[in-house]
Every structure is written in structure tokens, then in C-alpha cells.
Amino acid sequence: MEQRELNHQSVWSILPDRDQWAHKGDFGKILLLCGSRGYTGAAALAAMGALRSGAGLVYLGVPESIYAIEAVKLTEPVVFPLPDEDGKLSANAVEDVLDLLPKMDAVLIGPGLSQSKGTLAVLKAVLRECSRPVVVDADGINLLSRHKYLMRGRTAPTVLTPHDGEFIRLAGSLGTDRPAAAAALAREQGCIVVLKGHETLITDGEICYRNRTGNPGMAVGGSGDVLAGIVVSLLGQGIAPMEAAAAAVWLHGAAGDNCAQKLGQYGMLPSDMLEELPRLMK
């Protein structure tokens, strides 16, 4: 397997130049399906991660019961309610989601989603019907771990972003050779795997990027939601899937390193990382 390293120069070379005549629709229409009762922060952080990394239009679909909370939290994303049951997306949301998919350039599902029959129905619809890149994170991965057949026949790019626990639920084990385990899962599922942790790995089964940015101060709830938002943003802007995932991981870690330098590892927060992203991409 070919091993590659990431640095600021290589990441900058991945990011496309911006046409002075461009409009917001040229920088990606992104659909996020996130959040549930009690997990409103995940949806907001993912949406802002997408916007702070350059997405032109971010649409955030959340359960109707938390719509008012998200609408107050967020100014720039287009927040809209979807049918819910007990604070989670219900199967009745599938029709609305299917109407939106053809209009989108990339989709993220999972942050704060929770697990239920309804969220499983939405995940199934996205993986089976979306012909654009899809990022599956957090509870999306936990749902997928019990229903791996949903990946069968999927030809559009899919990025899975598990931490170690989610990886083990999905793959069965991890072992000591992390690159080999991540590559095996990528080949098995026909996807890109972002195995999060110290020196996060990004692999499609043939090539493996190893990321050197990041620090223990990022080990706090919400950090992964920001990363998922960055990944889907870069995919929606038309960057090739492997390069989009790799650049997102480097930027996320570098933002965390800047926060650690300024604030220290104990008190830094995912929302602080959001503020650093524009400076890294300037």
C-alpha cells in the first residue's frame, strides 16, 4: 500500500482556486442530516465546519422538535425541519430527503443523529439513492455496523469517519496494525476510511495518507462533528474524495494545533477550531 504524508503545501495544492465570477452555488450545495433531541450541538458544529471550510450553501435538516433550537443557534446555514418521532428523524422524513438529494453536491449523515428505525430508514435512502458523495459519521456508522448490506451496490463515493470504537463495531476488530485494518475495511466496503485518532489515517485500500497534525486537546465532544463538516464541504466543492478527506483531516488537526498554542489543550473547544479554519485556508 502506498504511504503518503500531508503538509500545509500539499493541502493548499488540493484546494481549488476561486473564480472571481463565481456565485454561492459554485462552491457546493451541501445537505446535512444531523441532530436529535439532546444532541443539538453536533448538528450545529458540523454545519459550521462545512461553512468555515468554504461551502457555498449548507442545508441542515433536523428533527422538527429541535428545529427552533438549531434555527436560533445558526445564522448562515439553511436550517429546515423534518418529520420526527421521539426527537429523532422518522421514516416519514425519507420522502423529503429523496426530493432534496438530486439538488445536492454532497451529503453528510450521522452527527448527533441517534439510532432508531426512522434514522435507519433515512440512512438507507441516502446510501441507496444518492449519486453524489456521502459522508457517514457517528451514529450513521453505528447504524451501518448492524446493516452493512446497505453499502452493497453503491457506486458513488462514500467516506466513513470512525473513531476506534466505531471502527471495531463496523469491522469487528482493529488490532495493532491500524493502516492494514483501515485499508481492509476500505476495500471490503468500497469506500474511503478516515480512522480517527493519533496520526489519523485516510485510505481507499490502495493509498494511505498519515496525518501528523492534531493534539490531545481535540479529544472533546464535538471535534469529530467539525471534521465531518469539513470533509463534506470539500467533497461538495468538487475535490476528489481521497484528497478531500485527507485535506480535511490535516486542516482539522492544524486548527486544533493553533488552538492549543493560543489557549492550551485543557480549555480549547471545537468552536475555537472553527475560528482557526479561515486563517489556515487564507
Q: Which residues contact 124 (CB under 8 A, 6 or more apart)?
A: 147, 150
Mean pLDDT of 194-198: 97
What share of the chain has pLDDT > 90, as a percent? 96
Asked if residue 5 has pLDDT above 90, the reply is no
Domain containing residue 61: CATH number:
3.40.1190.20
pLDDT at 16: 87
Within a domain: residue 3? no
Q: How far is CA 94 from the centre of its chain?
A: 20
pLDDT at 84: 97
Q: Which residues contact 224 (CB under 8 A, 6 or more apart)?
A: 111, 137, 138, 161, 163, 196
Q: What is the average pLDDT value for the chain, to the nearest integer?
A: 97
Q: Which residues contact 121 (CB under 8 A, 6 or more apart)?
A: 90, 91, 93, 94
Within a domain: residue 2? no
Please, is 80 exposed, middle or buried when counting C-beta atoms within 10 Å of its C-beta (0-12, 13-18, 19+)?
A: middle
Q: Which domain holds residue 138?
A: 24-276
Q: What is the pTM of this model?
A: 0.98
Within a domain: residue 16? no
Own/partner pairs, 12-20, CB within 8 angstroms, 24+ separation? 14/239, 14/243, 14/244, 14/246, 14/247, 15/54, 15/234, 15/239, 15/247, 15/281, 16/237, 16/238, 16/239
Asked if residue 57 has pLDDT above 90, the reply is yes
Number of domains in the chain: 1
**pLDDT digit string, tens, across residues 243-274:** 999 999 999 999 999 999 999 999 999 999 99
Contact between residue 179 and residue 208 where contact means Cβ atoms under 8 Å apart: yes
Within a domain: residue 180? yes
Q: Kindly write down the DSSP assignment for every residue of 34-76, as one continuous string.
A: ---TT-HHHHHHHHHHHHHTT-SEEEEEEEGGGHHHHHHH-SS
Within a domain: residue 189? yes
pLDDT at 125: 98
Within a domain: residue 40? yes
Within a domain: residue 178? yes
**pLDDT digit string, tens, across residues 90-133:** 999 999 999 999 999 999 999 999 999 999 999 999 999 999 99
Within a domain: residue 257? yes
pLDDT at 1: 85
